[in-house]
Chain A
């Protein structure tokens, strides 16, 4: 923006771009604009997905299906899951923060393929609109986000086909993004910057992008076969025609287990950026963090059948997948202890960003513990397809990834806009979310253990009270977004001016103006070899500084 007065240079006319808010609606090639496009677009879909979630919770306050007809419930449930995963969490933890931050972190002026980058983003809105409009035009898909056949073959075809097309577009977007991140991180690094000096989010995105590039195409192929079953009446997955439904499950989870890491690994990376800054300490165990990310990537490919313990998998397969899944707890545990050790003894400013990150740590541990429990066959056969699983994955995808998205918005908002968010509203947002979330999902463990199945609009009346408690939690979560939305809009115009580096952070995105100029730095990109070098300065300096950063925190 300050750049607007620079002398013009029309030799590079092909890279002219609009400025002002209109550029967010344009086919901009600027990685920062694309990052914000992903973020805002994702958040709009989050609001839609959240509205659907509220509808689900309203329906479940009573044991009979009174608020919605049963088939409407199924459509709402399917749309909710698909939107939250493919249009909110995946695009935001990867596309939004990845595009905004990765070029800074590698010392580049943009991504490796800016045009591909813009294409990847612009695939998302049409795919999302298609998916949502199917509800009004033909009726949406009814078979859940997993689209298991034979259900997906027997339910109305139009909605299911639109669902498949939309997921294929989103998968394509995700693959293009992944290729771009790999090329940017490996090839576009500023001369002199070594891989082991990169901020942790780069490693997380490298690992995630490998998962994306290797697993998403398998989902695409599988969905193409499924669409043949639906429109051409082939029998790949249709038992009536001699097909095999379990093959679909294998192929689907070969993508979708890695997909859970596509949702959570970038969140790991973001937390690893946020905690050191606000506790004024280096990230604990950098090297072990890198190796555990890579271990998770490799192990993530060999655990998929833990979703299929009740699908007639043979005993040797169950044994293998139980063991492999349990092993994932090791690198995950290492990361957990590293975050705690980063906080330990630090000068922590308990601002909204840190609160959400700490909320993430707490929720993620709970979700991890239930995950390891679910990996044990004797336990899983009892609670598979019950609310216990629903509780497990919401602790990870909401309590984990979504908490981190909020934490990241509080942390990087000053970078995006040059203004601070209101701290008071931020804390109200955090406490409402944290209490609402736990109130909503903790009781669902009990529901699942006592046998309440998932994905149904009606249930045994004995579960009514606990479901009502859960719905109250959901109400709190819905309310919690109001202070957040108000805060982000209001602060964009009236927020306190942030200055270039309000957190005194050392990672490269803070070593330029806020918001940054179009090509990130006025002159040469800085060479940042110690992104976590906190505490390296003299003690008096740190003391003097911590008094002014802390008056925000306490």
Chain B
């Protein structure tokens, strides 16, 4: 009863559609990142409201140390630049170079995660200690999840851009560009998070 039927062969429009398809995927990803950004916006709004209307008891107040998060900010900003370099390299058909920049980016991502972990373990408060602590871990944790996913994506892209044999080439580099856009997005979120959480 289930027969397989080929879809009708098509005219000019169809071939048009196939050619432009890369563009739509980027557009779709951008729309998805807007959505993802709204999740963070909701968290930020919640955090700021908590801060404004639910003051903590004086003994629960704890000033966050700045050096480590500042280092983290630098790590991520530099990694955005190195990813950008990787993108340029693949467009110029230099896959060796591209891979080098990618592995550096992945390393910076891992360094960020490591130093975030270190910060978690050295903080004097835990997830359920108070409202402020919970929000701190929820926000940084949700962002850290994004960094983890991003690092995995970078490693996949790194493997796929090997030459010869990789799928990512100077002609076909959508996955690399997608991962790059996502990574810039995650970095941008971190900057806002850094300002709101550590500086305000």
Interface set of A (CB-CB < 8 Å, partner B): 3-4, 6, 8-10, 12-13, 15-20, 22-23, 26, 107-109, 112-113, 116, 175, 178-180, 182-183, 186-188, 190-191, 213-218, 220-222, 224-225, 228, 232-236, 241-244, 247, 250-251, 254, 517-519, 522-525
A217 touches B131 (CB 8 A): no
- Residue contact A518 to B5, C-beta cutoff 8 Å: yes
Chain B residues with CB under 8 Å of A26's CB are 2
Residues on the B chain within 8 Å of A186, using CB: 27
Q: B9: which A residues are within 8 A, CB to CB?
A: 9, 12
The complex places the Cα of A18 from the Cα of B53 at a distance, in Å, of 58
The answer to whether B1 touches A254 (Cβ under 8 A) is no
A17-B4 in contact given A183-B27, A225-B138, A235-B128 (Cβ < 8 Å): yes
Residue among B7, B13, B135 facing the most chain A CB atoms (10 A cut-off): B7
B23 in the interface, Cβ–Cβ < 8 Å? yes
Q: Which residue of B lies closest to A20 (CB)?
A: B1
* Complex partner residue of A215 from B11, B20, B38, CB under 8 angstroms: B38
Across-interface contacts of A224 in B (CB, < 8 A): 138, 142
In the bound complex, residues from chain A placing their C-beta under 8 Å from that of B35 are: 175, 178-179, 213-214, 216-217
Docked-complex contact B38 and A228, CB < 8 angstroms: no
By a CB distance below 8 angstroms, the chain B residues around A215 are 38
B111 interfacial by beta-carbon distance below 8 Å: no
B132-168 contacts to A (CB < 8 Å): 134-135, 138, 142
A218 lies within 8 A of B42 (CB): yes
In the complex where A20-B1, A109-B17, A214-B34 touch, is A244 in contact with B49 (Cβ < 8 A)?
A: yes
| CA of A241 to CA of B31, assembled, Å | 37
Which A residues touch B25, using CB under 8 A?
Answer: 113
B8 at the interface (CB under 8 A from A): yes
| A179-B8 in contact given A18-B3, A244-B49, A250-B49 (Cβ < 8 Å) | no
Contact B28–A22 (Cβ < 8 Å): no
| Complex-state Cα separation, A73 to B27, whole angstroms | 46
A-B contacts counted at CB < 8 A amount to 166
Partner of B134 from the list A220, A221, A235 (CB cut-off 8 Å) is A235
Residue numbers of B with Cβ under 8 A of A are 1-14, 16-17, 20, 23-25, 27-28, 31-32, 34-43, 45-46, 49-50, 53-54, 56, 127-128, 130-131, 134-135, 138, 142
The answer to whether residues A222 and B42 also contact, given A214-B35, A234-B134 and a CB cut-off of 8 A, is: yes
Q: How far is the CA of A116 from the CA of B31 in the complex (A)?
A: 13
Point out the residues of chain A lying under 8 angstroms from B16, CB to CB. 191
CB distance from B64 to the nearest CB of A (A): 19
Q: By the criterion CB–CB under 8 Å, are B8 and A10 in contact?
A: no
Assembly CA distance A218 to B46 (angstroms): 10
When distances are taken between beta carbons in the complex, the residues of chain B under 8 Å from A107 are 13
**5 shortest interchain CB distances as A-B pairs:** A218-B42, A234-B134, A217-B39, A217-B38, A221-B42
Rounded to whole angstroms, the CA-CA distance of A334 and B9 in the bound complex is 45
Report A414 CB to chain B, min CB distance, Å.
22
B62 to chain A: closest CB distance in Å?
15
A243 vs B130: C-alpha distance when bound (angstroms): 8
Given contacts A183-B27, A236-B134, A242-B130, contact A524 B12 (CB under 8 A): yes
